[in-house]
Amino acid sequence: MMRIETKILDVVEASNSTPILEMRGISQIFPGVKALDGVDIALYPGKVTALIGENGAGKSTLVKILTGIYRPNEGEILLDGQPVHFHSAQDAIDAGVTAIHQETVLFDELSVGENIFLGHAPKGRFGLIDWKTINARAKVLLEQLESTIDPTIRLKDLSIAQRHLVAIARALSVEARIVIMDEPTAALSRKEIDDLFRIVENLKRQGKAILFISHKFDEVYEIAENYAVFRDGKMVGAGNLAATPQDEIVRLMVGRDVTNAFPKQAVTLGPTVLSVRDYSHQTEFRDISLDLRKGEILGLYGLIGAGRSELCQSLFGITRPASGQITLNGEPLVIRSPEDAIRAGIVYVPEERGRHGLALEMPIYQNMSLPSLTRTSRKGFLAAANEFALARKYASRLDLRAAALSVPVGTLSGGNQQKVVIGKWLATQPKVIILDEPTKGIDIGSKAAVHGFISELAAEGLSIIMISSELPEILGMSDRAIVMREGLMAGQFERADFSPEKLVRAATGNA
């Protein structure tokens, strides 16, 4: 195997700028796995550096070291040329390093202002929290982000896009010099992405160094000046984006050329499995009627807020409809809870896997077996051997990359966490699986593998509803596509009639 040389590259050769932060020779070793192997990276003031790599390449581990969660086994971190040691997340924050994660780490029951100043709330006389100052400062920070969010409302009332703004405001509140953005656009509409990029440009003008983690190459080239590519725990390339073709970065990422991103198998569809008629919710969607056939991949496309996730959450029993009928294999079905749906053979893989799909502190094997405990238990008692056997089966099938099935699922990369969520529901042997943004936050190499696996499931006769905001994914993977807009069905298209223009016009209302 060719030895990969790693060295710090000056990614802005035309500039006399010196890095705010350098990581030199960083290695991180876990039992049985060398997650990082002698990695070097430099971040510059007023510049965005894109961190690119497949899931499992070491990006998440690097971020955890940089934010004080892990302490590296080897190497050093330099801040303004001086060695620093982060023994905790607070040490990193105190040094001006903060992270905005793909799935925002905020608290639903607290107000927006409380979330922004959590852990460093201003205090008044007698050491009491100064709520008036919190809300006033939060309002100023949000206004800097061109947001009119009320600092006093609870976070749970905000959209995903608004949560990201709160997370950015939190970063600004601690006077961060280095801002890490981990897949910040994964759940945003194009307009929201444009708004976010305006904020990033503002941060650059303030001299912030930004580490931008994304699998979306169009966005990387739009917002970043520099790049660093990781593969198998090593840095395999770094440089100036404007001087580097996209194909070269893809080859660095995966070590091969990626072709056939949508390996859709030709499937002869079977009879109708699921029928939904005149299905309405009090506020989120209305008058939805659809059919799903055996072996079919039915794509649900639309803009953020179109009602797709809300519809599917209702089909899974998370929320109750106001009216409508469901039949499964020709028999009427009433779903009052997720338990009803699972019992009937309908399962749901949520968009935000960390918040809604996994118990992050529990080991992989327990996460995978959770919905199947009645099958894996022995005489009413948990049977770890049976749980391990079930987890091994689906970990192998999904090519799960982990040191052991006993490690906490929260230590895995985003792509491997997604495999655990999918695996745990496949273990229930469902008739219908609903995939809500199944490749959100998954790198270009793993995406093709996930698409291939979805296609295999359909070929085996599983009926699939796939929500996606990525038009190429809908066009490449679906047998049929339904477009939703403002809670209504705006169009239905057979695969032979697919075109980007038709679906976008239906989604936006521009006939």
pLDDT by residue for the chain (511 residues), tens only, comes to: 333 333 333 433 334 479 999 999 999 998 767 899 999 999 999 999 999 887 678 898 999 999 999 999 999 999 999 999 999 999 999 999 999 876 667 888 999 999 999 888 888 877 888 899 999 999 999 988 878 899 999 999 988 778 888 988 888 888 889 999 988 886 677 788 888 898 899 889 989 999 999 877 888 999 999 999 998 899 999 999 999 998 888 778 767 554 556 777 888 899 999 999 999 999 999 999 999 999 999 999 987 778 999 999 999 999 999 999 999 999 999 999 999 999 999 999 988 777 788 888 899 999 988 888 888 888 778 888 888 998 899 888 888 888 889 999 988 877 788 889 988 999 899 999 999 998 887 766 677 778 888 999 999 999 999 999 888 889 999 999 999 988 999 999 999 998 888 888 888 776 5
pLDDT tens-digit readout, 88-121: 999 999 999 999 876 667 888 999 999 999 888 8
Q: Considering only CA atoms, which of 66, 75, 77, 83 is closest in space to residue 25?
A: 75
Residue 144, both tokens: 């800097």
> Whose CA is closest to 329, among 314, 309, 345?
345
Residues in the chain, how many? 511
> Given this model, what pLDDT does residue 2 score?
35
CA proximity to 20, closest of 97, 103, 115, 135: 97
Residue with tokens 């959100």: 440
Enumerate residues 6+ apart whose C-beta is below 8 A from 438: 349, 418, 422, 450, 454, 466, 468
| Residue 444: alpha-carbon gap to chain centroid | 14
Amino acid 306: pLDDT: 87
Domains of the chain: 1-96+176-255 (3.40.50.300), 106-173 (no CATH), 271-345+430-511 (3.40.50.300), 352-429 (no CATH)
Strands of the 234-240 sheet, one edge to the other:
97-100, 178-182, 209-213, 48-53, 226-231, 234-240
d(CA 327, CA 325): 7
Q: Which of 357, 367, 399 is nearest to 103 (CA)?
A: 357
Dihedrals phi, psi of 293, to nearest 5 degrees: -95, 160
Q: What secondary structure, in 3-state letters, does 356-405 show?
A: HCCCCCCEHHHHHHHHHHHHHCECCECCHHHHHHHHHHHHHHCCCCCCCC
CB 442 within 8 A of CB 55: yes
Contact (Cβ atoms closer than 8 angstroms) between residue 372 and residue 428: yes
The identity of residue 146, as a single letter, is E
In this prediction, residue 257 carries a pLDDT of: 52
- Tens digit of pLDDT for each residue in 305-317? 789 999 999 999 9
Q: Which residue, among 58, 31, 416, 401, has the nearest Cα to 232 in the 3D structure?
A: 58
Coil, helix or strand for 45?
coil
Q: Could you tell me the sign of the dihedral formed by the alpha carbons of 254, 257, 262, 264, in that order?
A: negative
Sign of CA dihedral 324, 327, 330, 331: negative
Tally of CB atoms within 10 A around 2 = 5
Assigned token pair, 5: 């040389």
What pLDDT score was predicted for residue 511? 54
Q: How far apart are CA 403 and CA 407, in angstroms?
A: 7
SS3 29: strand
Q: What is the pLDDT of residue 104?
A: 63
Q: Tell me, what DSSP letter sits at residue 494?
A: E
Helix (H, G, I), strand (E, B) or coil at 272: strand
All residues at 6 or more sequence positions from 179 whose CB lies less than 8 Å from its CB, including other chains: 98, 99, 100, 168, 171, 203, 208, 209, 210, 211
Cα 131 from chain centroid (whole Å): 33
Provide the pLDDT for residue 4.
34
What confidence score (pLDDT) does residue 384 get?
86
* Per-residue confidence (pLDDT) for residue 465, from 0 to 100: 98
Burial readout 436-474 (b: 16 or more C-beta within 10 A, e: otherwise): bbbbbbbbbbbbbbbbbbbbebbeeebbbbbbbbebebb
Q: What is the pLDDT of residue 470?
A: 81
What SS3 class is residue 136? helix
| Pairing mode of beta strands 331-333, 346-349 | unpaired
pLDDT score recorded for residue 286: 94
The rounded distance, in Å, linking the Cα atoms of 52 and 62 is 12
